[in-house]
Amino acid sequence: MAERADRLAGCLARALAERPVLCDLISAQDAVLERNVSPQVAVQYKRAAIANAQALAGRVAAHLPELGAEGAFRFIAGTIMVTGAVWAHAHPSAAMLAAYEQDPSPAALRLDFTTTLRETLEVLLARAARA
């Protein structure tokens, strides 16, 4: 399973890297997009998000059936959360880029999006397989 899981992690990381607008939206989801909305809009949005995550989890489970439906869903939920965090760190603001030029030592925290996401998804899949 490890080889198939690693291939899936790489495929997902590359697919997300090719969709920067989606990654921007994912990274802004909790902090920006889910603020100041009515309860009705929030419920409608979350129901749609769950349905989309379940559909993606079904595709994951088709390739890694040993995860089961619950493990695949947890993996997809984790993928969404991690994508937002890694995207934000891999794409620093103009102010942070200027700070890195002034003092390169903090730039060690700047991440390569695709590599970091792939490695993190590999860990999530390994954990989901054990659950």
Question: What is the CATH classification number for the domain harbouring 67?
Answer: 1.10.357.10
The domain in which residue 69 lies consists of 2-130
Q: What is the pLDDT at residue 106?
A: 81
State the pTM of this model. 0.86
131 in helix, strand or coil? Answer: coil
CA–CA distance, 28 with 100 (Å, rounded to integer): 23
Model pLDDT for residues 25-71, shown as the tens digit of each residue: 999 887 776 778 888 988 998 899 999 999 999 999 999 999 999 99
Rounded Cα distance between 108 and 91, Å, is 13
Q: Determine the Cα–Cα distance for residues 94 and 68; give it in Å rounded to an integer.
A: 43
How much is the pLDDT for 110?
80
Per the structure, the count of domains in the chain is: 1
pLDDT above 70: residue 107: yes
pLDDT of residue 29: 84
